[in-house]
Structure 1
Amino acid sequence: MGNVRYFLGQVLYLYEWVIVIECILSWLRMTGSTVIEDVYQATNTLVEPVVGLFRRFIPPIMGMDFSPMVALLVIEVVRNLVY
């Protein structure tokens, strides 16, 4: 049971980093680089199902989308509960 909890915790930790990378790439994709755009599309495919849930309930505030931050907080709480 301990190995499963450890593995799940590590997967959630990795997923948190994918969300952070996706947020950074969303700013960098304005440079027009096709490599950045391709990586952004890949990370967005992974992140959007979870962040999209929060995006439905949290509107942008002054043009800023806070749903990734809320998703990170919720994932961190779940990760701490798993440990």
Structure 2
Amino acid sequence: MDYVILAVAKVLSIVLNLYMWVVIISALITWVNPDPYNPVVRFLRGVTEPVFAKVRQYLPFLNISGIDLSPIVVILVIQMLDIVLVGNLTRLAYGLGM
């Protein structure tokens, strides 16, 4: 059972890191004028915009002079989840193995 929990922790870490890079790329792509019909742009917006909208809904002060800081909050939350969830799952897996 400890290997299953460790595997879940590793997969969760990979998924969180992958989503963090998607958020970073999505934030960087807004600095240029991308084609809204490009499949890559549509995918990035479709994956990140619902999360950004929730952050903007709860923290409306993150839009400062037209600069949207919600990607920074999302990255911080992803990092916090990575540290807390993956760390605790890993610790649990190693605790069961002893």
TM-score calculated relative to the size of structure 1 = 0.84
Match of 1:27, SS state, is coil
Distance 1:37 1:19 in 2: 19
Give the ranges of 4+ consecutive aligned residues of structure 1 lying more than 4 Å apart after TM superposition. Answer: none
Q: Which has the higher strand share?
A: 2
Q: Contact between 1:22 and 1:47, CA under 8 Å: does it hold in 2?
A: yes
Structure 2: gaps spanning 5 or more residues: 88-98
Structure 1: gaps spanning 5 or more residues: none
Tell me the percent identity.
Answer: 33
The reply to whether residue 55 of structure 1 matches residue 63 of structure 2 is no
Q: Which has the higher contact order (CA 8 A, sep 6+)?
A: 2
Query: Alpha-carbon deviation of 1:49?
Result: 2.0
Aligned length: 79
Bigger Rg, which one: 2
TM-score calculated relative to the size of structure 2 = 0.72
Match of 1:43 in 2: 44
